[in-house]
Structure 1
Amino acid sequence: MSNSQPSLILVLNCGSSSIKFAVFPVDADPLPRTPLWNGKVQGIGEPAPNFGESGVEPFPVELDAEHPHTAALQFIQERISKRLDGRRVTTVAHRVVHGGSRYWAPTLVTQQMLDDLRSYIPLAPLHQPFPLKAMGLLLEQRPDIVQVACFDTAFHHSLPKVEQILPLPYSAWERGLRRYGFHGLSYDYMSHTLPERHGDLARGRTIVAHLGSGASLCAMQNLESVATTMGFSALDGLMMGTRTGSLDPGALLYLMEVERLSLEEVGSTLYNQSGLLGVSGISAEPRVVVKHENDPGEAGERARIALALYVRRIVREIGALTAVLGGLDLLVFTAGVGEHNAFVRERVCRDLAFLGIKLDADANTINAPVIATTGSRVRVALEPTNEEWIAARCTQKLMIAG
Structure 2
Amino acid sequence: MLELLNQPTHQQQNRDWLAFAQSLGQQFSPSEQAADANDTFVAENFEILRQSGLSAMGVPQEFGGGGASYTEVCETLKTLARHCSSTALAFSMHTHQVMVPAWKWQHQNAPVDGLLKRIAQEKIILLSSGGGDWLPGSGTATRTEGGFLITARKAFASGAPAGDLLMTSAVYDDPAEGKTVLHFALPMQTPGVSIVPTWQAMGMRGTGSHDIVLANVFVSDQAIALRRPADKWHPAFHLITMIAFPIIYSVYVGVAEAARDLVVQHISNCDDEHIYYQVGGLDNELTAAKIALQHMISTSISSQPGFDITNQIMTGRALVARSVLGVVDMAMEIAGGRSFNRPFGLEKLFRDAQGVRFHPLRDEAQRKLSGQLALGYDRTLL
After TM superposition, the score normalised by the length of structure 2 is 0.25
- Counting helix residues as a fraction of each chain, which structure ranks higher? 2
After TM superposition, the score normalised by the length of structure 1 is 0.24
Bigger RCO of structures 1 and 2 (CA < 8 A, at least 6 apart): 2
